[in-house]
Amino acid sequence: MDCDVPRIRQPRPDASEDVYSDLYSTFSQVTSTTANDIEQLPYPLTFRNAVIFAGATVGGLLFGYDTGIISGVLLMLNPADLSLSVVTDFDKELITSVTCLGSFFGSLLAFSIADRYGRRLTLALCSAVFIVAALWMALATTLSLLVTGRLLVGVAVGVAAQCIPVYLSEISPASTRGTVLALNCLAITGGQLISYVVSMLVQETKHAWRYLFGLAALPAIFFLLLLDFIPESPRWLISHGDYAGALDSLKVIYPLAPMQLVSLKLKWLILDINKLRKYQDEEDLPLARSQSISRYLGFTQPEEVHAGSEEVSTETKPRHRMEARAKRALFVGCTLMFFQQASGINAFMYYAPVIFAQIEVQNPLASAMIIAATNFLFTLVALRFVDRVGRRYMLLSTIWIMTVGLLLSSVGFDEDNTKLILVAFLIFVGGYASAMGTIPWSSVEFLPLNRRSFGGACISCTNWLTNTLVSVSYLSIGKKVGMANTMLIFALFTALNWIFVYYYYPEVKGLTLEEVGKVFENGIDVSYVYRNYH
């Protein structure tokens, strides 16, 4: 790792704001002049960083576990445990879908908390709700109490779904951001797989479903124990004027980087976040509010530090109207997330054991666990290649595989061919997990800082609203029009998804969060990266 601080080209005194763009392009991670850019240097994994990423993705693990566990619960639930004579299909849909509804409201709640109190505290509150909800569900004695507990855990899932991608996008280097965001999806699919494994292990135990719910409290407790080791997002700290905290956070995130590069990164983040487009030279920027930080940033006179420091950035100041580029970014992120759920993936994950039981598979849980394992293993494909080949290419290369899997499953249901149905599901899930399972959650990277938490909530709400509609109607629609036709409906959505990605989803591989906005400045430039840097 080179310890020299890269030189910055000095703008002309009369430079317009276009010079800012030219200056910033020097530090774009995809240019040839970024050998010493801290976001482009090799990012060694240390024990501390491993703890940060593992801790941050615990919420994803709980997300996956609490959404996946319902498959085993529906098979093991004894009506008498809830003072019922029978558990109807509607009861099953209600118990399943109410979590999605809670997640919708949790996502709405999360963005204001995350913006006001920070990403770290929001995740801590989320873990506390997970603990309460897990115990509530485990002790439920009526349907209404169980549904309430499922609604409560849904709120926690929604907070995690909104906040974790935002947090991970803000603490990860540009060169590995896709991989880091995919880690959260790996945790989600891992949580789903664990839920099936645990269901298999305890299925013969009396009141097994209570243990399944109660075990969800353990990862949440683990996160709270790790909280002291997890730093706040430096971008959030800067947006709230805590430059000293941001510097400390950057030092934790880049523990092996030289101090010069960490300081330079802090300077650039402040510059980007405050949108200071016009200045005379790099040592005359009103960026810091404390003399201690000014020393790290290279300021020499206190007057220079405080001059204009009360000028509040438009990037951090709330606005009533969303800027056009943020609207475009939000459109892409929400639409892609809609297609993720409209493909029917969570209907398969929630109801796989029920489906296999209906077609008389000998061990429905074992078959469902194979699907969950496929989902987990192919998420590793996304983890391995998302930063190497890019998001857009991976989507275009895998969505059509999902369509093939759904068409084959339609044939399988039409011919009552159990083996073909299982193989078709595996093809579909493998194609889904390789890209669509992870990349839609990465869409928070499209949004500017002042809209990232709100946009993350919108993207997450799109997920949960669509998820709720699919999960609450899947069994009923399947009975009314037949499973074969239901698969054809899902296949139609995946075909439309491919068309949408081709025309509207841009590649952002290698761009810093601050540079991604250029892609949406004049429409949606799907080829921005390829045209400018390749």
Distance, C-alpha 265 to centroid of its chain:
24
Strands (E), 192-255: none
Instruction: Give 295-362 as a DSSP string.
Output: HHHT---HHHHHTTTT---TTTS--SS--HHHHHHHHHHHHHHHHHHHTTHHHHHHHHHHHHHHTT-S
**SS3 (DSSP) at 31:** coil
Is the separation of the CB atoms in 161 and 466 below 8 Å? Answer: no
**CA-based nearest residue to 37, from 519, 515, 529, 531:** 515
pLDDT at 380: 92
pLDDT at 320: 52
pLDDT in tens, 110-156: 888 998 999 999 999 999 999 999 999 999 999 999 999 999 999 99
The pTM of this model reads 0.75
Phi and psi, residue 307, nearest 5°: -60, 120
Class of domain 47-232+320-533: mainly alpha
DSSP label of 206: T
Q: Which residues contact 395 (CB under 8 A, 6 or more apart)?
A: 435, 436, 439, 498, 501, 505
d(CA 319, CA 449): 12
The pair of structure tokens assigned to 137 is 């569900």
Q: Residue for token digits 């409290």?
A: 217
Residues in the chain, pLDDT under 50: 1-35, 276-296, 299-319
pLDDT at 275: 57
Phi and psi, residue 358, nearest 5°: -70, -35
d(CA 390, CA 431): 16
Long-range contacts of range 403-406, CB-CB < 8 Å, 24 or more positions apart?
Answer: 403/491, 403/494, 403/495, 403/498, 404/428, 404/431, 405/429, 405/430, 405/431, 406/343, 406/344, 406/487, 406/488, 406/490, 406/491, 406/494
pLDDT in tens, 234-279: 989 988 889 999 999 999 888 888 888 888 888 888 887 775 333 3
The pair of structure tokens assigned to 326 is 């943020």
pLDDT at 147: 94
The pair of structure tokens assigned to 466 is 């669509």
**CA-based nearest residue to 418, from 408, 431, 407:** 408
Is the separation of the CB atoms in 443 and 322 below 8 Å? Answer: no
Number of Cβ within 10 Å of residue 288's Cβ equals 25
Is the separation of the CB atoms in 379 and 189 below 8 Å? Answer: yes
Number of Cβ within 10 Å of residue 246's Cβ equals 26
In the chain, where are the structural domains located?
47-232+320-533, 241-315
Kind and range of the H or E element at 120?
A: helix 119-138
d(CA 531, CA 534): 6
d(CA 342, CA 361): 26
Max distance between CA atoms of the chain, in angstroms, equals: 81
d(CA 247, CA 3): 18
Q: Residue for token digits 């569900």?
A: 137
pLDDT at 150: 93
pLDDT at 139: 94
